[in-house]
Structure 1
Amino acid sequence: MTITAAAHTPVAAVNRLTADDDLFLKLHSLYGNALVNQLAWRFDEPLDRDLLDRFHAQLAHGFLARRVHGARMPFARPYWLPATASIPLGLDPVPVADDEILDWYFAQSRVDFDPGAGLVWRLSAARTTTGATVVSLVTSHVASDGGAVLFAVGDALSRLGERPDRAVSSGALVGRAPRNALGANVSDAAAQLVAVARGVRAAVATRTVAEPERTPRPAEPRLPLPDRWTPADVVVRLSLDEWNAVAAAHSGTTNGLLIALGAGLLGRSGRVGDTADIRVDVPHSTRIPHDPRANATTGLPISVHYRIGHRVDLGAVRSAVKRAATAYRDPATTPALQHLQPLQMVLPRAVLRYFARTATAPECLCTNLGETALGVAELGGHRASAVLMRPVVCTNDPAVFRRMAAGVNLSLCTDGETVTLAVTGADPDRFPSRAALRALLTAEFDSWGLTPDYW
């Protein structure tokens, strides 16, 4: 989903951090830039430095340009203020070979973000040895989810011919300081305590509501990997017509086929056994027009049945997604943990650190961004030959991925003609290399009759 700012952008109000913003901020304070989002482009021709500078300037005055300001009062939430600084445009002086483009993209994700200073995004670009251009926008999850990035980029691209002006761009939504900081913070602190009490009562009432369980990660095999290991990743392009035809032939949807591929890939890796029920997390955007939130996404967990040698039932996936969406719209059928978000916000960092020790990564995460590439594919008259968006886990310790029981991440977007699918195998013992991931993914594509074109 892409939304461009209206001609008359609403006047910014005090924009407090949400529970998701707060969680990502606390995790950032504990682990640094462990999780970022990346929007990446490939252009078949060179792009001028002036064009990239103008794009950077618009982003620096837009929706991404925000910084966290602490409330300095117990229980009152921090709020967003416009950022007055940004990480400079990065131009790589060394041309990138075609077979090194994925590695270059991954290298761009290594950024030292600082949410308090507003350094929460980085734009970089490089020429390739064949005269093309690759561009990367990496963003901190503290300050933006995928929908926020697409909104900010769409607005920035529409203003490349204008003077950067936060007042009339998407940057006007970021927020302002309260006129009476003490009174506003006292009021917010009181409201937060009320929200905590209500959340605890709701959690008790829904304590029997269960989410799909994870499949336990087998301890073996444990491959002899180096101390520094990069998660296996591939990017593949497919025909949207072919994709939709395969989905329809099996009584499914575009989204359902994505989920089936993720579950099938995990099954083929040996991570789960025969007749396993795999938990798949499906992000769902709750962003609306003129939405000031940095993070506005919820997750719909579903259970997908897997059998060795069989394709996942797309009809069953479709029904599971519908049931999950219906359940999450009703507080009475929303899992207790969701109701405890206000409590999570008031927990001190030391308590969060304790719980973080047992935190797990998604077993299978499938993000369908739909036709998002349509809104961000053209940069100053140059149309990208490919656009991708994906989450990136910024650590190289295989022990961390084992402890968190990481699995597979799939992210899909389309320009209306072509599907671009980014796949990350984050289980070091099932996807030890890009070649291993590609072989398993190719076998899964073959089982569905899909024809992949790998980057």
Structure 2
Amino acid sequence: MLNSAATPDNRLSFIDQAGFDMLRATGRHQLMQVLWIYEHAIDMDGLRQFHRNFGYGLAGRRIERSRLPFGRHRWVSCPGPQTELAVATTARPRADVSDWADEQVHLPVDPEHGPAWHMSVLPMTDGSTAVSLVASHHIGDGIGGVLTLMEAVAGTKRQFGFPPPRAQTARRAIAADLRQTARDLPELGRTAGKAVRLLRRRGAELLRSARAENESAPRTLSTEPVSVPAVSVFVDLDAWDRCATGLGGNSYSLLAGFGARLGERMNRANARSGTVTLSIALNERTSLDDSRALAMTFASASIDPRQCTSDLTGVRATIREAIETARTTTDETLELLPLIPLVPKRALQGLGGLFFGSPDDLPVYCSNLGDVDPAVGRADGTDAEYVVMRGVDQNVTRRDIESMGGQLVLVSARVNGKISIGIVAYQLDAQNSKTRLRELAALTLKDFGLAGVIE
């Protein structure tokens, strides 16, 4: 068992606190899901061992809220499985695997009260088996999840040294948080000054964005739940790479081209320029001792979907430039995050566009995990025939989705001889169903001369 620093700082980073506080303010919960499909006999003993091993590192903790309304929340230890491994007692047809995966997403997940993650198994009538692991995005991001999967397969039980829940009495916890707030006052003062300067420069722009988002949300349907379709695409790696090379690109630019073409089909192109904005997740996690849940930033790239199917050289250059810009430019809005603990929870509901992008550009969110370690595809110790990762949400309302102008999220990984693309999408004023999303995904693959399995 590996232990990190003996006396770690267990306060949440400001971005993690912002994400958690927005969860509590809005009720919308961002999750990660990994789905393995085994077409050969699964090793249940190996899978149970994986389940026992997974609850360490980033997955072996929960969030403990400050007892002060303006205090910093903290990580507390919660090692090992947080629920039993749920094995379905009745087999279902293979055609049901996608619906079953969606059902797992709607089971309770809570990064504060637990369980922060859960794992399920579905035997299917054709002899294959599906395995689902769902975890709160507020305990880890995509790369963090990949690292935790690798450690679970290897049997590595990493612990950060966080205290157990409620390790301090209420009086001591309040006193500690008051002392910490006092120490943070100089930084809060500097941040408040930055906020004033930002509002002077961009106040009108931010107000217009917030007003547009608010006005676009239908009042009468604000609490109506919405089902956001999700499908999984699998393409043979050799075919994918041949296509990318033939178009003068690489796997990354082909994924961007696929996202841009699919975005165009789902009416997410800019009405004036015809381009599609990709919001590309960039990893900032450089150490296994990095306890941040969200160790990432985003690059923004405008891609012309009309050129993607004939030449990817421009797309490749655009992505390279966007990543370089994101790496070398400070996002001034993120510098305001130290103020998050002071923001009333009701006010947080309107800050999503400020910190996580305005819906004006109708972005296509793209998380490219690249070539992941083969261990990620071995939940039971053997190579699953299909592995996909998805970014999914709980408790999405019509107001949420329509104020964002719809949604399109891609999560891609290269593992076990295939590239997988998890697609979660919703288009305004359209038929939103898995059947239609599969058709759109197949047509987009065909644009590039590709075909694949779409679950």
Same fold (TM over 0.5): yes
Structure having the higher helix fraction is 2
TM-score by length of 2: 0.83
1:323 is matched by which residue type in structure 2?
E
In 2 relative to 1, CA 446–23 (structure 1 residues): closer, same or farther, beyond 3 Å? same
Shift of 1:329: 3.0
Q: What is residue 267 of structure 1 aligned with on the other side?
A: 264
Q: Within 1, Cα distance between the matches of 2:446 and 2:379?
A: 35
Q: Within 2, Cα distance between the matches of 1:47 and 1:416?
A: 16
Q: Within 2, Cα distance between the matches of 1:150 and 1:106?
A: 21
Q: Please give the per-residue CA displacement for 1:15-62, whole angstroms capped at 9, x wherever unaligned.
A: 211223212212221343532110111112343544333322222344
Q: Within 2, Cα distance between the matches of 1:182 and 1:425?
A: 43
Q: Which deviates more, 124-133 or 16-25?
A: 16-25
Shift of 1:95: 1.0
Q: Alignment partner for residue 130 of structure 2, among 122, 127, 134?
A: 134
1:293 is matched by which residue type in structure 2?
R
Note if contact 1:12-1:175 (Cα within 8 Å) is conserved in structure 2. no
Shift of 1:12: 5.4
Shift of 1:169: 2.0
2:303 is matched by which residue type in structure 1?
V
Instruction: Tell me how many residue pairs correspond in the alignment.
Output: 429
Q: Within 1, Cα distance between the matches of 2:225 and 2:82?
A: 30
Q: Please give the per-residue CA displacement for 1:383-421, whole angstroms capped at 9, x wherever unaligned.
A: 211111111122464454222212321111112621111
Q: Within 2, Cα distance between the matches of 1:274 and 1:375?
A: 45
Q: Alignment partner for residue 195 of structure 1, among 175, 187, 211?
A: 187
Q: What is residue 172 of structure 1 aligned with on the other side?
A: 160
Q: What percentage of residue pairs aligned between the two structures are identical?
A: 24
Q: Within 2, Cα distance between the matches of 1:251 and 1:196?
A: 49
Q: How does 1:367-382 map to 2 (within 5 A)?
A: 367-372=367-372, 374-382=374-382
In 2 relative to 1, CA 31–48 (structure 1 residues): closer, same or farther, beyond 3 Å? farther
Note if contact 2:43-2:381 (Cα within 8 Å) is conserved in structure 1. no
Q: Within 2, Cα distance between the matches of 1:256 and 1:198?
A: 40
Q: Within 2, Cα distance between the matches of 1:303 and 1:373?
A: 30
1:115 is matched by which residue type in structure 2?
P
- Structure 1 SS opposite 2:118: strand
Note if contact 1:266-1:407 (Cα within 8 Å) is conserved in structure 2. no
- Structure 2 SS opposite 1:449: coil
- Structure 2 SS opposite 1:388: strand
Q: What is residue 98 of structure 1 aligned with on the other side?
A: 94
Q: Alignment partner for residue 185 of structure 1, among 157, 160, 177?
A: 177
In 2 relative to 1, CA 268–73 (structure 1 residues): closer, same or farther, beyond 3 Å? closer
Q: Within 1, Cα distance between the matches of 2:88 and 2:358?
A: 35
Q: What is residue 454 of structure 2 aligned with on the other side?
A: 454
Q: What is residue 243 of structure 1 aligned with on the other side?
A: 240
In 2 relative to 1, CA 310–102 (structure 1 residues): closer, same or farther, beyond 3 Å? same
1:154 and 2:150 are equivalent in the alignment: yes
Q: How does 1:36-51 map to 2 (within 5 A)?
A: 36-51=31-46
In 2 relative to 1, CA 175–367 (structure 1 residues): closer, same or farther, beyond 3 Å? farther
Q: Within 2, Cα distance between the matches of 1:404 and 1:23?
A: 19
Note if contact 2:308-2:315 (Cα within 8 Å) is conserved in structure 1. no
Note if contact 2:278-2:363 (Cα within 8 Å) is conserved in structure 1. yes
1:338 and 2:334 are equivalent in the alignment: yes
- Structure 2 SS opposite 1:115: coil
1:304 and 2:303 are equivalent in the alignment: yes
Q: What is residue 120 of structure 1 aligned with on the other side?
A: 116
Q: Within 1, Cα distance between the matches of 2:431 and 2:260?
A: 14
Q: Within 2, Cα distance between the matches of 1:351 and 1:228?
A: 22
Note if contact 2:257-2:308 (Cα within 8 Å) is conserved in structure 1. no
Q: Within 2, Cα distance between the matches of 1:44 and 1:342?
A: 49
In 2 relative to 1, CA 31–351 (structure 1 residues): closer, same or farther, beyond 3 Å? closer
Shift of 1:262: 0.9
In 2 relative to 1, CA 279–431 (structure 1 residues): closer, same or farther, beyond 3 Å? farther
Note if contact 1:264-1:312 (Cα within 8 Å) is conserved in structure 2. no
1:234 and 2:231 are equivalent in the alignment: yes
1:321 is matched by which residue type in structure 2?
I
1:29 and 2:18 are equivalent in the alignment: no
Q: What is residue 425 of structure 2 aligned with on the other side?
A: 425
Shift of 1:303: 1.8
In 2 relative to 1, CA 52–404 (structure 1 residues): closer, same or farther, beyond 3 Å? same
Q: Which deviates more, 87-96 or 51-60?
A: 51-60
Q: Within 2, Cα distance between the matches of 1:285 and 1:396?
A: 26
- Structure 1 SS opposite 2:323: helix
Q: Which deviates more, 57-66 or 147-156?
A: 57-66
Q: Within 1, Cα distance between the matches of 2:157 and 2:266?
A: 46
Q: Within 2, Cα distance between the matches of 1:287 and 1:279?
A: 25
Q: Please give the per-residue CA displacement for 1:60-104, whole angstroms capped at 9, x wherever unaligned.
A: 344302121233346441110102671222111121211110111
Q: Which deviates more, 254-263 or 231-240?
A: 231-240
Q: Please give the per-residue CA displacement for 1:107-165, whole angstroms capped at 9, x wherever unaligned.
A: 10012223223421011111111122111110111212112222222111111xxxxxx
- Structure 2 SS opposite 1:16: coil
Q: Alignment partner for residue 58 of structure 2, among 32, 55, 63?
A: 63
Q: Within 2, Cα distance between the matches of 1:48 and 1:242?
A: 30
Q: Which deviates more, 98-107 or 83-92?
A: 83-92
Note if contact 1:271-1:430 (Cα within 8 Å) is conserved in structure 2. no
Shift of 1:344: 2.5
Q: Within 2, Cα distance between the matches of 1:337 and 1:184?
A: 29
Q: What is residue 13 of structure 1 aligned with on the other side?
A: 8
Q: What is residue 67 of structure 2 aligned with on the other side?
A: 72
Q: Within 2, Cα distance between the matches of 1:147 and 1:175?
A: 25
Q: Which deviates more, 444-453 or 199-208?
A: 199-208
Shift of 1:321: 2.5
Q: Within 2, Cα distance between the matches of 1:97 and 1:173?
A: 44
Q: Within 1, Cα distance between the matches of 2:264 and 2:310?
A: 10
1:439 is matched by which residue type in structure 2?
E
In 2 relative to 1, CA 15–122 (structure 1 residues): closer, same or farther, beyond 3 Å? same
- Structure 2 SS opposite 1:149: helix
Note if contact 2:233-2:421 (Cα within 8 Å) is conserved in structure 1. yes
Q: What is residue 439 of structure 2 aligned with on the other side?
A: 439
- Structure 1 SS opposite 2:89: strand
In 2 relative to 1, CA 196–409 (structure 1 residues): closer, same or farther, beyond 3 Å? same
TM-score by length of 1: 0.83
Q: What is residue 82 of structure 1 aligned with on the other side?
A: 77
Note if contact 1:232-1:437 (Cα within 8 Å) is conserved in structure 2. yes
In 2 relative to 1, CA 252–199 (structure 1 residues): closer, same or farther, beyond 3 Å? farther
Shift of 1:285: 1.0
1:110 and 2:106 are equivalent in the alignment: yes
- Structure 2 SS opposite 1:283: strand
